[in-house]
């Protein structure tokens, strides 16, 4: 399942086709949205933004199309009118003079005015978006010390979009490794220095994954391995999906276990 960085890259790809362009034609598969389609037609698309794992297509005049892909939804960007080869059902389409952005199979699509965004049941539960440049380490440190979150295991907390949004399973293992803490520890077990290291890693690793298209390993190490011809899958992460392989820092074998129902990878030496 895509995580925050992948959803943001998808938003960037759609924005490239739509931003600053007039939506000549807007279409929804759901009959209750057809009046909205008429209302949105002729408006400029001003932005395409991700909010955690949801996407907002923002139109001039304060209107937004909210979509959440869940497991099956998929966006395609094509030359106008060209349909991709897929057996999926088209659910939402925006056509500009030259391009079409087409959302297939997603079931959660809504049209919302700007002032409704804060009240939306999914959006209002989201913690700060780690990919937003406005979110600083201090805000993450504060949340780790907040009574709502301080007593929960880090393994569960880092997957909770209400704590911070944009993290997912591979980022969780990588963040815990970089900050030298274990998934069973709770924020209240950590020193101020550990909380600071964890908050920094939450931001650094997530933004690195966005910038480097899913790579969380040290950028220099990744480049060195790439130059040696090592495939991406084997140089991409510090520990995630590397069970039995030597830790990149200490050489001890990386281990795998379940944490909060998802697979977790860790180094028993670095994260003791």
Alpha helices in the chain (DSSP H): 4-18, 34-40, 137-145, 154-157, 169-178, 192-211, 219-227, 232-235
Nearer to Zn ion, 13 or 255 (CB): 255
Distance CA 72, CA 79 (A): 23
Nearer to Zn ion, 14 or 270 (CB): 270
CB of 249 to Zn ion, least distance (A): 5
List interacting residues with Zn ion (CB under 5 A): 247, 249-250, 267, 269-270
Nearer to Zn ion, 1 or 250 (CB): 250
Cα separations in angstroms, 84 against 49, 80, 196: 23, 11, 46
Nearest residue (beta carbon) to Zn ion: 247
Distance CA 128, CA 10 (A): 19
CB of 188 to Zn ion, least distance (A): 25
- Sheet containing 45-51, strands listed edge to edge, beginning at the edge strand earlier in sequence: 45-51, 54-59, 63-68, 108-113
CB of 222 to Zn ion, least distance (A): 17
List Cβ neighbours of 57 (8 Å cut-off, separation of 6 or more): 14, 18, 45, 48, 64, 65, 67, 94, 101
CB of 236 to Zn ion, least distance (A): 17
Nearer to Zn ion, 64 or 259 (CB): 259
State the catalytic residues: 2-3, 53, 262
């Amino acid at each position: 399942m895509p995580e925050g960085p992948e959803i943001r890259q998808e938003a960037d790809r759609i924005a490239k086709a739509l931003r600053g362009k007039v939506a000549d034609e807007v279409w929804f598969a759901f009959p209750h949205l057809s009046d909205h389609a008429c209302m949105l037609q002729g408006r400029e698309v001003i932005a395409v933004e991700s909010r955690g794992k949801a996407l907002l297509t923002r139109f001039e005049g304060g209107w937004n199309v909210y979509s959440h892909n869940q497991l099956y939804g998929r966006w395609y960007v094509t030359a106008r009118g060209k349909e991709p080869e897929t057996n999926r059902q088209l659910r939402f389409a925006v056509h500009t003079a030259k391009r079409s952005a087409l959302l297939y199979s997603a079931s959660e699509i809504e049209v919302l005015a700007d002032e409704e965004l804060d009240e939306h049941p999914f959006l209002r539960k989201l913690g700060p978006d780690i990919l937003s440049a406005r979110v600083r380490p201090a805000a993450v440190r504060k949340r780790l010390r907040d009574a709502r979150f301080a007593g929960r295991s880090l393994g569960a907390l880092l997957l909770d979009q209400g704590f911070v949004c944009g993290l997912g399973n591979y980022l969780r293992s990588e963040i815990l490794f970089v900050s030298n803490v274990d998934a069973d520890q709770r924020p209240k077990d950590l020193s101020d220095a550990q909380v600071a290291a964890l908050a920094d890693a939450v931001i650094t690793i997530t933004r690195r994954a966005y910038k480097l298209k899913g790579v969380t390993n040290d950028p220099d190490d990744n480049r060195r391995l790439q130059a040696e011809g090592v495939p991406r899958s084997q140089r991409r992460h510090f520990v995630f999906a590397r069970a039995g392989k030597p830790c990149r820092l200490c050489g001890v074998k990386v281990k795998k276990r379940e944490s909060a129902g998802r697979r977790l990878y860790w180094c028993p030496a670095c994260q003791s």
